[in-house]
Amino acid sequence: MNCTVLIVTYKSHNTINTCIDSINKNVKIVIVENSSDKKFKNFLENKYKNVKCYLTGKNLGFGRANNFGLSLINTNYVLLLNPDTKLESDTLDILINVAKNLKDFALLAPKIINGFNFGFFENIEKNEIKKKNIFQVDYIKGFAMFFNKKKFSKIKFFDPNIFIYYEEIDLCRRLKKDNQKIYLVSNARVKHAGGKSHGDSLDLEMELSRNWHYLWSMFYYYKKHFGKFFAYKKTLRYFFLSITKLIIYFFFSKNKYLVHKSRFLGLLNSYIGRKAHYRPYSLNKLF
């Protein structure tokens, strides 16, 4: 099979097994763990014969860790998954068959099933291939992306400056500028828990990290593609709203105060040109 599954993890002990168990045992799986957790590596490689786990030694973030994993894989097709996803039994087979028939694509994506609702992919074009359930789209979500590596010789992969958030939107935008094609395959489906790629004990830490990086990445993305003035225009309301809320919650809720402090400082750091440096477990290093 000319396809490898790539999963980037960070303390995903509670969710990774469900994801791996949904993948055919004949498919090679590469896991990039954003830590130096040798017990996690040994557990996975002993339990699953089709899994090879690599430790980064530190938290590289989503994009850089996936870039590392993609550089290790020799197959032309790579299905990138979040650890809190679960494939349906025929999902990977459908994607591979579409890839063989389409050929001229950079990215494919399955459609999300989340509870009772199907996920929404924006800007689906009218020239949909109805009988094959294939739609050309402007961008896809990062939790499940099927790569045709031959199309990335010039574009490369994810922007290493982005720790989390907007990395897939940035990648898709660069692909579209290069006239590459991105498709949603609606009959290939995946369940995505969303925000559950870590244990419950890490909820606050991860919430702070998500909020810090979401606003850092938002300004960075708009500045990169549309210029600094446009980026300020798109983000200033978040800046002042986060200041207002952190003042309000200072008196009522410590956790909500920390969340809005994270949002404020993430955006401030992006405004002044600092790198996306914040990592979970660094409460004293929000700035």
Domain spans of the chain, in order of start = 3-192, 200-285
Burial class (CB in 10 A: 0-12, 13-18, 19+), 235: middle
3-state SS string for 238-276: HHHHHHHHHHHHCCCCHHHHHHHHHHHHHHHHHHCCCCC
Q: Point out which residues pair with 189 in neighbouring strands.
A: 111
Residue 255 CA to residue 48 CA, distance in Å, equals 39
State both tokens at 32. 């990039």
**Average per-residue pLDDT for the chain:** 88
**pTM given for the model:** 0.89
Could you list the pLDDT tens digit for every one of the 287 residues in the chain?
689 999 999 988 888 999 999 999 999 999 999 999 999 999 999 999 999 999 999 999 999 999 999 999 999 999 999 999 999 999 999 999 999 998 799 999 999 876 433 444 444 444 444 556 899 999 999 999 999 999 998 888 999 999 999 999 999 999 999 999 999 999 999 998 865 544 455 678 889 999 999 999 999 999 999 999 999 999 999 999 999 998 999 888 888 999 999 999 999 999 999 999 998 765 445 44
3-state SS string for 24-90: CCCCEEEEEECCCCHHHHHHHHHHCCCEEEEECCCCCCHHHHHHHHHHHCCCCEEEEECCCEEECCC
**Closest residue by Cα to residue 16 from 38, 31, 3, 36:** 31
Long-range contacts of 242-247 (CB under 8 A, 24+ apart): 242/215, 242/267
Torsion sign (Cα): 284, 15, 35, 62: negative
Residues 73-96: pLDDT tens digits? 999 999 999 999 999 999 999 999
Contact 31, 43 (CB under 8 A): no
Contact 144, 190 (CB under 8 A): yes
State both tokens at 234. 């798109």
CATH of domain 3-192: 3.90.550.10
Q: Which helix (H) or strand (E) holds 172?
A: helix 167-177
**pLDDT reported for residue 265:** 95
The angle formed by the CA atoms of residues 76, 80 and 81, to the nearest 5 degrees, is 155
Residue 251 CA to residue 172 CA, distance in Å, equals 42
Crossing angle (nearest 10°) for helices 254-271 and 228-249: 160
The angle formed by the CA atoms of residues 39, 32 and 22, to the nearest 5 degrees, is 90
